[in-house]
């Protein structure tokens, strides 16, 4: 197994800040890399060889040249387009570089698990986990704002936990195991008391912690849940938890994208709107650009954020990393930001108008998109479904 089966407990001695993506996020990656003294891990799904990717590469190289142990792990499907020259530059600087490989891949197809982490951690002391890939699309460049996404910047005990997850993922990301020694020194932890826990999803190896967090989110809610997510296509059990929460009088709001980079996923998502409206769940579509965030708040005190999309791919086919945070001050601040986004950048989808105004052809297209997504998911994860049945 890639991970031992255990439930992570909350660490308390942490300093935490929620980052709204864009230029601030990438600047913080550079600062984390430049502050590293002993070890540095960067793991991500998509790494583009563009202006942003080259700038982050320069920061990684600077760290390696200071004799920091630098480890870069990228998904073997989503980042396969990187040039041999780019990879050679990293390796020649002393960076340990590796792809997390699916069972099979080509330019347009993959079979098996994918590494969906978006995480950077230095010295087991400071880290960020996010939904943000390394690409110009997520950055603020000139007058163009990056896609809407979120990250959690953390200092303290939780950074050591996340460092351990990165080490284990690196060591067992291929068939042969490579031992990794990162003898990070002990650091004094921050005086702040912010409970945080790391959550992992890797269904093929029976880790479903983030899925469980979302179930608990709706099960334990007493007043309100707001979920901002891209590619909304949740497992049936989670849909039922959302509906049950709404029936108990919990206000459930979903912030989704109006414009998706994967149009088929958006059409499939809209097929679910009728179910959501039937259970009095409010739906808002973000208009400004592409919404790529993966973050939720419960009752203005609990936050979960990271790489996990609320869909079957994250639940059953990807290696995901989130953090859960319990802090009323941070949650209230994030709630205010969500409220501003809803009021200024979103359109509420009217349940009395959306479905009636959709043509019969559109409704059929939504339905077939939803079924096609199901079929693609089944084909791409069939190996693990079969393996699970045999175990």
Active site positions, annotated: 116, 118, 123, 292, 294, 299
Under a CB-based contact definition with an 8 Å cutoff, are residues 124 and 189 in contact?
no
CA 71 to each of CA 128, 169, 341: distance values in angstroms, whole numbers, following the listed order: 15, 11, 36
Q: What is the 3-state secondary structure (H, E, C) of the chain?
A: CCCCCCCCCCECCEEEEEECCHHHHHHHHHHHHHHCCCEEEEEECCECCCHHHHHHHHHHHHHHHCCCEEEEEEECCCCCCCCHHHHHHHHHCCCEEEEECCCEECCCCEECCEECCCEEEECCCEEEEECCCECHHHCCECCECCCECCEEEEEEHHHHHHHHHHHHHHHCCCCCCCCCCCCCCCCCCCCCCCCEEEEEEEHHHCEEHHHHHHHHHHHHCCCEEEEEECCCECCHHHHHHHHHHHHCCCEEEEEEECCCCCHHHHHHHHHCHHHHHHCCCEEEEECCCCECCEEEEECCCEEEEECCCCEHHHHHCEEEEEEEEECHHHHHHHHHHHHHHHHHHEEECCCCCHHHHCCHHHHHHHHHHHHHHHHHHHHHHHHHHHHHHHC
């Amino acid at each position: 197994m890639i991970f031992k089966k255990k439930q992570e407990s909350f660490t308390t001695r942490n300093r935490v800040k929620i980052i709204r993506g864009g230029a601030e996020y990438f600047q913080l990656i550079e600062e984390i890399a430049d502050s590293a003294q002993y070890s540095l891990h960067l793991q991500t799904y998509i790494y583009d060889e563009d202006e942003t990717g080259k700038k982050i590469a320069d920061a990684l190289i600077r760290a390696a040249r200071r004799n920091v142990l630098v480890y870069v792990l990228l998904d073997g499907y989503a980042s396969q387009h990187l040039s041999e020259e780019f990879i050679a530059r990293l390796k020649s600087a002393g960076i340990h570089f590796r792809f997390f490989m699916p069972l099979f891949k080509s330019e347009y197809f993959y079979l098996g698990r994918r590494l969906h982490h978006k995480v950077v951690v230095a010295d087991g002391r400071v880290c960020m986990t996010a939904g943000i890939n390394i690409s110009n699309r997520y950055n603020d460049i000139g007058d163009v704002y990056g896609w809407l996404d979120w990250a959690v910047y953390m200092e303290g005990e939780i950074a050591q936990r996340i460092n351990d997850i990165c080490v284990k993922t690196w060591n067992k990301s291929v068939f042969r195991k490579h031992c990794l020694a990162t003898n990070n020194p002990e650091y004094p932890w921050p005086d702040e008391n912010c409970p945080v826990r790391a959550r992992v999803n890797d269904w093929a190896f029976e880790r479903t912690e983030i899925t469980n967090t979302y179930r608990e989110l709706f099960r334990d809610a007493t007043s309100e849940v707001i979920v901002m997510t891209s590619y909304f296509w949740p497992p049936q059990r989670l849909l039922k938890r959302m509906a049950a929460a709404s029936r108990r009088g919990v206000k459930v709001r979903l912030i989704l994208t109006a414009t998706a980079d994967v149009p088929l996923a958006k059409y499939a998502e809209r097929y679910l709107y009728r179910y959501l409206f039937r259970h009095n769940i409010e739906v808002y579509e973000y208009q400004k650009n592409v919404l790529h965030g993966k973050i939720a708040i419960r009752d203005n005190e609990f936050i979960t954020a990271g790489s996990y999309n609320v869909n079957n791919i994250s639940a059953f086919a990807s290696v995901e990393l989130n953090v859960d945070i319990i802090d009323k001050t941070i949650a209230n601040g994030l709630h205010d930001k969500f409220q501003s986004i809803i009021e200024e950048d979103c359109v509420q989808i009217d349940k009395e108008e959306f479905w009636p105004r959709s043509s019969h052809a559109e409704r059929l297209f939504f339905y077939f998109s939803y079924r096609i997504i199901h079929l693609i998911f089944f084909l791409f994860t069939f190996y693990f479904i079969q393996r699970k049945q045999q175990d």
